[in-house]
Amino acid sequence: MATEGSCSLEFFPPKTNAGREKLLNETLPALADLNPEYCSITYGAGGSTRDTTVATVAAIADAGQDVAPHLSFGTDNRETMKGLLEEYQQQGVQRLVALRGDAPAGDGTPEKSCVYANELVSFIRETTGDHFNIKVAAYPEIHPEAVSYSHDVHFLKAKLDAGADAAVTQYFFNVESYFYFMDRCAAAGITQPIHPGIMPMTNFANLMRFSTACGAEVPRWIRQRMADFAEDPDSAYKFGIEVVSQLCSTLIDSGAPPIHFYTMNQAEPMRTIARNIGLLKGGDNHAGDQALQRSVA
């Protein structure tokens, strides 16, 4: 049953039993009192984590959380995708995040007939009707492969017109890019919610590598300030928490839809940010704090 929540959380399927145990027994309980509307589970390039995604979806649903598996055609055919949709329906899953997806590096599989996210959304609707609440991806700083800004906005509209209920953005650190993007989407006739996606700034070197690959801009002033903390990881961490907390507060104050957090399967940064922006209040967070203490013990 879908519920209203203060935010949504994204996890990736752990590759090891130890990672799985930590996610299910430490991280997830520590974040439960953020009152997430749902937890999304990522899906590797070409469906490379399909089996672990399905297993993680089932485990998180068993833990009592509403869950939204990521789904993309990648190198799969329609029958494989139809079977996966049927499996999710049987599990009681009511949400999906529909993505174009990428083929694994070096994959030589010929291009499939259904590649783009709007085609995937149409396929889901044709196969399952209105069973699933579907979210798609949006790019405030524009997808790195986009022909133009306007083309990317209209492509988002095509995904929503195909039957998606809402969108979740790629992470960003320049809040004005989100506000401008929202204005352009409204001008294009988009009325569905576009949830801001936010990633905690923890391992800055990894963040820079990932941002370069996916086209997310890390503003120069942040990069320069992080350079000051090159030999002081504690100050770098605190600065990252401060920057992201302020970004979230600005979004909330502006009336943006609930934030989607890319947790990177980490509890402590998320709880600190949530506490800073008022998603954790008073004595409501003792259980999560206890779970967090177990995870860092």
Alpha-carbon gap, residue 40 to 203, rounded angstroms? 22
Q: Is 10 labeled as catalytic in the residue annotation?
A: yes
DSSP string across the chain: -----SEEEEE---SSHHHHHHIIIIIHHHHGGG-EEEEEE---GGGTTHHHHHHHHHHHHHTT--EEEEE--TT--HHHHHHHHHHHHHHT--EEEE----PPTT--PPPPS--SHHHHHHHHHHHHTTSSEEEEEE-TT--TT-S-HHHHHHHHHHHHHTT--EEEEEE-S-HHHHHHHHHHHHHTT--S-EEEEE----SHHHHHHHHHHHT----HHHHHHHHHTTT-HHHHHHHHHHHHHHHHHHHHHTTPPPEEEE-TT-SHHHHHHHHHTTSS-GGGGHHHHHHHHHHH-
Strand partners, 11: 41
**Active-site hit among 4, 10, 126, 217:** 10
Active site residues: 10
